[in-house]
Structure formats: structure tokens, C-alpha cells
């Protein structure tokens, strides 16, 4: 069944020199007086005031109440309550993310410290890696190789596998005696030679250590022992790091063979330490938690190796056991285990264009930095944002003050994992941010120079949502087969209630010294399309948190000039209302600025249409200057949202009224007024090609949603998401399925 992944990416094109120099879409220091945006005063042509916004839920909304959580009967599982008020921080985060997208601003929340570390990925089993033991003397590191009875081959051992297998895990239980431990040196260990799967390769298997007998565990090992030898060496126990693991290793060299010792260069050591750090970062969010769902008794317990949970392993040490990538003459790389993670060639930070990286100087502030504020992540410097947002209050229509629907029984949600940028097929694209090709091996799909991250992550609006209370259980049950589980564990949460659809809230946005383009970009968020939904709160991958935004009443915003005039007059109105014509003018200014920066089309100002020639019998009496003045008067009246003809402002009014009565003007202008309003209606559709910009189109598509189901990838062999990813990376007949996350709007398939 085709389906959409819950998240996708809005591509972020590199900001060219043309963009960076754009008066709005580019970068500059807003604190400079010549920019007329700083907070020293209300600048004459800048906009300040307040916007009232209405928020209406389209799907159930859950905002976690941090003050309350109730333990359930399952260990470390909690039931959370929903807040009845939407906090300002959540609203600001939602709006700032959207504003970043529609202005293609710099990534404001993107830490170099976090993203400059290379991520790891699990590599395929590699029989060419040679076991080794690290030695350190005077700050210099070497590694002693253990090749068993074989010579070092090009892509595999020239003979049986280098290290002997030590039977360790049977039926989910460790069978190694307690007196045998990791790094233990053992003498006179009995080893037997066996064939694997009828002769694919040969391996040594431990038969006895100090009188303790062992029998092979894997069913793929032949029953007959072909040869028996005795050897000295080290027990190496890395832990049951994968579910089907059944053996640990015994590192040894053939009796009488001089071991090979190779130097370890500083880059190789640094790469190894970075790999261990990646291991421990990857597992830190699950260490200490129950690893298996409570309803699956077939899963075996995972035992973490020291490279995963021992902080002392972060530095390479004397006596560490490793696997070495080598041709026998130099150590090219070190790994903690044979089926190891591998570091990507480049970091996430490397794969983001420099024009999109967070500003490190106030002169580099992009549109979102200037509006929502900026703090230098790599040094000193900051800019106070020009926007303040209140929390959203519930607008009750039935006298009930609590918008939360409280459940009779808590509802347990599916497990929602952390972002996994190491899944390069989903997070990484080609040099233009488009999806990577399907079917390429994992190592070719990895982070490397020349590739770019896919863009800004967005969660899709689910159109297959539910609206009625009695459909709640049906919805969750219908998606249970597609990977949404309801069993309690310490990795998911239950909720005691939510805010159902069709509930209305209101909040206010206070702005100060906005340019017309900034105000237009902000206003367009509330008028993109009635079908567009923003995503808010918890559970967005499951369909929760779709909300619609709209302007609530008048927009009480004025220019600095208007505010100055009000302060000088004791009779001036205390409130200014932004006319609809001015609102449209600001939106058009924003659209034009973005289209001009990111499109090759040359855009011209909308010209006064022919309908403004008015009645021929009047118009023909005017000279060119009078005609021009008439246009200006008319447009000025419309800008003030004046509904009647501006008779009193006509040029040379006295002369004209001698020829025509004022009733004539009012009557004649009625038709002109209708024509102009119709023109304005049509001109709203003229957005200078703004909607055709790739990042705008993708964002709008994500807000509208699609007709197919939206869910995490699932496998036909089970409901676990990781099984889909395992199948996606599986190599069969030399080919890899290797589906990448497709473009916005295209679907994935079950595997």
C-alpha cells in the first residue's frame, strides 16, 4: 500500500549573491540607523502595532502540561495531561519555523557544535577486518594483529576467519562462565575447525577453556570438526549488540608465528574516538530503558558492549581490543566490533550551504533573524526580535471554559522516536537537495562532500483524520496494522485527554518597526489558503496538532508617521486600523521581493488599469496633469478603504461641478468602484510567481496534505519501523532496495 512518510523536507536553495544583496530576502544589520528598524524610535515608514489571530483546531491537539504526569502500572510509563491554554513559546516556534521557510532564511536553530560531528551508520559485515590489541608507550600507539592460522587477504582472510568463535548466547541467555571475562588472557585453549553453510568459509570455534567445554550454537556450522589445535590468546567480549548474535571472539596467533605490529597514526586514532562517541550518542537516549516491547516475548535481551556504555572508551587506551582495516603494512582504520558502525565522510554541517548556516555576525541577519531575534551561537552578539506573541486563550461558544476532552481511559500513543539524521537516505540529498537515487549501496548514500541536506523538516497534515468522538477508537485501531501501537512501554506515553477539532482560540502578535515586506510575509501566513494547516504540539507524526490560523478582526497597526501624528494631537483616534488595500500592498511587496530574488523572471509594478479612465465624458475634459491627479486621488481614497467616490478631492472641483452635479459624480463613480474592486480581486491572484517557487509550493503542499495514508514506514513482515529500514538496506543478488525519501507529494511502498 502506498503511503506518505509523516515528515518530509522543504528544499532550501542556496542563497546566491543576488539573494544576499536583496533589500528584503538578503542579509544586513538592522541595528544601523540608516536601516530605520532599530528600537530607538517608531520610524516613520515602519509598521508597529498588534495583530489579533484566531486559531481553530482541525485535528485533535495535545499540548503537554509540564506540571502534571501520572505514573501508570507499567514501569517508567506515564500518563500526561493536556493544557487548556496554548503557551506563547509553542506558537512562536510554529510561526518562526513557517516564516523561516517562506523567506528561505538562514537555519536559526542549527548548532555547529552538534552537527559538525560526523554521524555513524551500521556497515555490512566485513570479514576483511583483522583483530588487534592496542599498545601505548610514551604517547605513541601501535596495534598488534591476531591473524589466527591465516594470512591477511585483500578482502577476507586467506584461510579460516582470523578470530575463533566463542559460543556465548543461547536462548537469550549468556552461557559464558562468570570466571571468564573480557580481555582475559588464556593459555592452551582448544579450538576446532568447522565449515560454515557447507563450505562458504571455515572458522575456528572454541571447544574448551580450562576444562570448560563448549558446543557450537549456530545451526549453520557443520557438525563435524575437521581439525583440533591449541592456542594462547585473549577473550574478547563486545556484548550482544545485535539480536541474533550467538558468539563472542577469541583473538589468537598460530603457535610459533611472530605477530605483526603496526603504528596507529593520529588521524586514525581520532577517527576511532569519534566513532566511539557516535556509538554512545546514538544509544544514550535508550540506555537504561526497557529495550523490548512488553508484548513481544520472542525478542531477546540486548547486552551493550563497553564501547556503547563505558565513557572511558571515548579515548583509545593501552590494552583495547579492536578490529583493524589493513593490508598488513599500515593501519587504515580501527573499529570496536567486526560488524561495526562507520563514520560518514562528511558531517551534517558540511552538507549545508554556507549561505544558510546560522549568522555569526549581526551583518549576516536574514529575514527570520531580523524579525524573531538572533543570538550568536559562536561568539558574542545578539538582536532583539521585533515580534512578541501572547499565549492563546480558548474562546468558548457554549459556556464551557475547558476546551479539553477528558477520556474515560487514557489513550496510549505510538512510540515517537528522536530525529535520526544518520538515516542518510531520508535526510540527505544530491547537491541541489533533491532525493538521492534509489538502489545505491549504503556507503554511497552516506554524507559526503558535494551533497546537501534535504531541507527544513516539516510534518504533513493528515487528511484522513477524524472529527467525531465515537470515531476516535476506530481511527487508532485502523492504523494499528500500519505500525501504530497502543501497548504501554517506557518509550511511549499515554494521554488523559486532548483538545478536539473545531475548538477556537485567540492570541495577539505585537510587532514593532516592521518593513512592508516583513509585515506582508507575516500576514500571508494567515491567508495562504483555507485548506492549509499549521502543525502544533505533540503527536504530529500521528496526525495530531493540525490547526488553521486567520486574522481575528481589524489589524491595529500604524506607521511611525501615523503614531507621531496621534501623539501630537489630543483629538486623534487612539487606534489605527490597517486598510485591506494596505494589507494587500504589504503582501504584494513580500511576494515581489521573494520572486525577484529567487526567480529569473523580471517583475514589473502592477499598472493602473484601464477601468480607472472613468467616464469618457468627464475624463476627456481633463488635461494630462489633471488626469494624473485624478488617478492619485482615487487610489488614495481606496488606500484609506473609502467606499464612496472622493468627490471633494477632485482636481479643479469648482470648475467641474459647474459642468456636472455632485450626484453625477457619485452615480458615475459607482460603476468605476465596482470595476476597480473586481480588478483588485483579480490582481490578488497575481503573486509574481511566488507560489511556483519550489520551497513555497512544497510548504503549501505539506500544509494541505494528501489523499493517501500518512504513517511511518512499515514492513510486511511486522509492524516495527526498523524492520522496513532493515529491508531497505538489505542486499540481495548484489542489489540494494535502497529507497530514498521521495519528493514532497510522492509516496513510499511497504517492504
Residues 281, 212 within the same domain: yes
Label each residue of 588-645 as H, E or C.
Answer: HHHHHHHHHHHCCCCCCCCCCCHHHHCCHHHHCCCCHHHHHHHHHHHHHHHHCCCCCC
Residue 67, phi then psi, degrees to nearest 5: -85, -15
In a domain, 396, yes or no: yes
Residues 277, 185 within the same domain: yes
Quick one: which of 423, 476, 417 has its CA closest to 454? 423
pLDDT at 338: 82
Residues 242, 324 within the same domain: yes
Residues 185, 229 within the same domain: yes
In a domain, 64, yes or no: yes
Q: Which of 320, 343, 366 is the last residue of a domain?
A: 343
Round to whole Å and give the CA distance between 355 and 363. Answer: 13
Q: How far is CA 576 from CA 121, 252, 492, 553, in A?
A: 58, 85, 49, 13
Residues 394, 294 within the same domain: no
Residues 96, 199 within the same domain: no
In a domain, 737, yes or no: no
Quick one: which of 188, 185, 221 has its CA closest to 204? 221
The helix/strand/coil state of 272 is: helix
pLDDT at 435: 96
In a domain, 611, yes or no: no
Round to whole Å and give the CA distance between 326 and 592. Answer: 59
| Structural domain range at position 133 | 120-343
Residue 383, phi then psi, degrees to nearest 5: -145, 125
Pairs from 435-439 (Cβ < 8 Å, separation ≥ 24): 435/740, 435/741, 435/742, 435/743, 436/740, 437/740, 438/737, 438/738, 438/739, 438/740, 439/735, 439/736, 439/737, 439/738
The alpha carbons of the chain give a radius of gyration, in whole angstroms, of 34
Residues 219, 312 within the same domain: yes
- Residue 532 contacts by C-beta under 8 Å, 6 or more apart in sequence? 461, 548, 700, 703, 704
- Give the sign of the dihedral formed by CA 647, CA 650, CA 656, CA 658: positive
- Residue 256 contacts by C-beta under 8 Å, 6 or more apart in sequence? none
Q: For residue 568, how many other CB atoms are within 10 A of its CB?
A: 8
Residues 185, 310 within the same domain: yes
**pTM recorded for the entire structure:** 0.77
Q: Which of 544, 577, 610 is the last residue of a domain?
A: 577
Contact 314, 280 (CB under 8 A): yes
Quick one: which of 60, 4, 51 has its CA closest to 533? 60
Q: Which of 520, 546, 577 is the last residue of a domain?
A: 577
Residues 226, 307 within the same domain: yes
Quick one: which of 375, 366, 454 has its CA closest to 103? 366
Cell of 46: 515602519
Total domains in the chain come to 2
In a domain, 234, yes or no: yes
Residues 90, 186 within the same domain: no
Residues 93, 129 within the same domain: no
Contact 427, 461 (CB under 8 A): no
- Segment-wise mean pLDDT, segments of 10 residues, the chain, 751 residues: 91 95 96 92 95 94 90 82 96 97 96 88 76 95 96 89 94 87 94 91 95 91 94 92 85 92 96 89 55 35 70 92 94 89 90 96 97 93 96 87 90 79 93 94 91 96 63 47 54 88 95 97 92 94 93 93 85 79 93 88 48 60 73 64 63 64 63 62 69 94 91 70 80 87 92 75
CA dihedral 277, 281, 286, 287 (to 10 degrees): 40
Instruction: Write down the residue that cell numbers 505510538 correspond to.
Output: 414
Round to whole Å and give the CA distance between 24 and 690. Answer: 15
pLDDT at 664: 64
pLDDT at 663: 66
Residues 16, 61 within the same domain: yes
Q: How far is CA 291 from CA 297, 341, 663, in A?
A: 12, 19, 83
Amino acid at each position: 500500500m502506498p503511503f506518505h512518510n509523516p515528515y518530509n523536507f522543504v528544499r532550501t536553495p542556496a542563497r546566491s549573491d543576488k539573494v544576499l544583496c536583496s533589500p528584503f530576502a538578503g542579509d544586513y544589520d538592522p541595528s544601523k540607523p540608516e536601516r530605520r528598524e532599530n528600537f530607538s524610535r517608531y520610524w516613520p515608514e515602519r509598521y508597529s502595532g498588534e495583530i489579533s489571530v484566531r486559531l481553530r483546531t482541525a485535528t485533535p491537539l495535545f499540548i503537554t502540561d509540564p506540571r502534571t504526569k501520572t505514573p501508570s502500572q507499567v514501569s517508567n510509563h506515564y500518563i500526561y495531561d493536556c493544557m487548556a491554554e496554548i503557551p506563547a513559546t509553542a506558537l512562536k516556534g510554529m510561526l518562526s519555523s513557517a516564516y523561516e521557510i517562506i523567506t528561505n532564511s538562514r537555519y536559526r536553530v542549527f548548532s555547529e557544535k552538534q552537527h559538525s560531528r560526523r554521524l555513524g551508520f551500521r556497515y555490512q559485515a566485513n570479514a576483511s577486518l583483522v583483530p588487534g590489541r592496542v599498545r601505548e608507550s610514551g604517547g605513541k600507539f601501535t596495534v598488534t594483529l591476531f591473524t589466527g592460522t591465516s594470512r591477511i587477504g585483500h578482502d577476507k582472510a586467506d584461510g579460516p576467519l582470523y578470530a575463533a568463535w566463542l559460543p556465548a548466547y543461547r536462548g537469550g541467555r549468556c552461557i559464558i562462565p562468570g570466571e571468564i571475562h573480557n580481555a582475559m588472557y588464556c593459555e592452551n585453549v582448544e579450538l576446532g575447525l568447522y565449515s560454515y553453510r557447507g563450505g562458504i568459509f571455515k572458522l575456528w570455534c572454541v571447544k574448551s577453556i580450562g576444562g570448560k567445554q563448549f558446543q557450537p550454537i549456530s545451526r549453520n556450522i557443520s557438525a563435524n570438526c575437521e581439525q583440533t589445535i591449541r592456542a594462547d590468546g585473549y577473550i574478547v567480549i563486545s556484548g550482544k549488540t545485535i539480536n541474533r548474535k550467538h558468539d563472542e571472539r577469541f583473538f589468537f596467533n598460530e603457535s610459533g608465528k611472530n605477530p605483526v605490529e603496526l603504528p596507529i597514526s593520529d588521524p586514525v586514532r581520532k577517527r576511532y574516538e569519534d566513532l566511539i562517541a557516535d556509538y554512545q550518542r546514538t544509544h544514550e537516549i535508550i540506555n537504561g530503558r526497557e529495550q523490548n516491547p512488553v508484548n513481544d516475548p520472542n525478542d531477546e535481551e540486548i547486552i551493550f558492549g563497553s564501547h556503547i556504555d563505558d565513557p572511558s572508551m571515548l579515548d583509545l587506551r593501552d590494552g583495547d581490543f579492536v578490529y583493524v582495516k589493513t593490508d598488513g603494512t599500515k593501519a587504515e582504520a580501527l573499529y570496536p566490533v567486526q560488524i561495526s558502525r562507520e563514520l560518514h565522510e562528511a558531517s551534517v554541517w558540511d552538507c549545508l550551504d554556507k549561505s544558510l548556516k546560522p549568522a555569526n555576525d549581526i551583518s549576516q541577519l536574514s529575514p527570520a533573524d531580523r524579525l524573531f531575534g538572533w543570538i550568536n551561537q559562536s561568539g558574542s552578539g545578539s538582536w532583539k526580535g521585533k515580534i512578541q506573541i501572547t499565549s492563546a486563550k480558548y474562546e468558548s461558544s457554549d459556556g464551557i471554559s475547558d476546551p479539553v476532552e477528558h477520556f474515560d481511559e487514557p489513550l496510549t500513543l505510538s512510540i515517537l522516536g528522536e530525529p535520526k539524521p544518520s538515516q542518510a537516505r531520508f535526510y540527505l540529498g544530491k547537491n541541489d537537495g533533491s532525493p538521492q537515487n534509489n538502489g545505491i549501496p549504503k556507503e554511497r548514500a552516506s554524507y559526503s562532500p558535494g551533497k546537501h541536506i534535504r531541507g527544513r523538516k516539516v510534518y504533513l497534515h493528515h487528511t484522513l483524520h477524524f472529527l467525531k468522538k465515537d470515531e476516535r477508537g476506530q481511527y487508532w485501531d485502523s492504523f494499528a496494522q500500519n505500525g501504530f501501537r497502543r501497548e504501554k512501554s517506557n518509550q511511549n506515553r499515554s494521554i488523559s485527554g486532548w483538545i478536539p477539532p473545531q475548538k477556537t482560540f485567540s492570541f495577539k502578535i505585537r510587532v514593532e518597526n516592521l518593513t512592508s515586506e516583513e509585515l506582508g510575509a507575516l500576514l500571508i501566513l494567515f491567508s495562504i489558503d483555507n485548506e492549509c494547516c499549521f502543525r502544533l504540539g505533540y503527536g504530529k507524526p500521528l496526525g495530531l496538532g493540525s490547526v488553521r490560523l486567520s486574522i481575528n478582526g481589524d489589524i491595529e497597526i500604524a506607521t511611525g508617521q501615523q503614531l507621531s501624528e496621534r501623539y501630537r494631537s489630543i483629538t486623534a483616534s487612539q487606534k489605527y486600523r490597517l486598510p485591506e488595500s494596505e494589507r494587500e500592498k504589504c503582501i504584494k511587496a513580500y511576494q515581489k521581493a521573494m520572486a525577484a530574488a529567487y526567480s529569473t523572471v523580471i517583475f514589473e509594478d502592477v499598472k493602473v488599469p484601464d477601468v480607472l479612465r472613468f467616464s469618457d465624458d468627464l475624463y476627456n475634459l481633463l488635461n494630462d496633469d489633471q488626469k494624473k491627479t485624478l488617478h492619485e486621488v482615487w487610489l488614495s481614497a481606496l488606500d484609506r478603504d473609502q467606499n464612496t467616490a472622493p468627490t471633494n478631492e477632485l482636481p479643479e472641483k469648482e470648475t467641474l461641478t459647474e459642468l456636472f452635479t455632485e450626484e453625477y459624480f457619485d452615480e458615475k463613480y459607482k460603476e468605476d468602484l465596482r470595476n476597480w474592486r473586481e480588478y483588485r480581486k483579480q490582481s490578488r491572484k497575481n503573486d509574481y510567481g511566488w507560489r511556483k517557487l519550489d520551497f513555497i509550493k512544497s510548504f503549501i503542499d505539506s500544509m494541505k496534505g494528501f489523499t493517501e495514508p500518512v504513517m511511518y514506514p512499515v514492513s510486511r513482515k511486522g509492524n516495527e519501523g526498523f524492520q522496513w529500514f532493515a529491508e531497505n538496506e538489505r542486499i540481495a543478488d548484489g542489489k540494494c532496495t535502497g529507497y530514498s525519501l521521495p519528493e514532497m507529494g510522492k509516496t513510499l511502498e511497504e517492504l
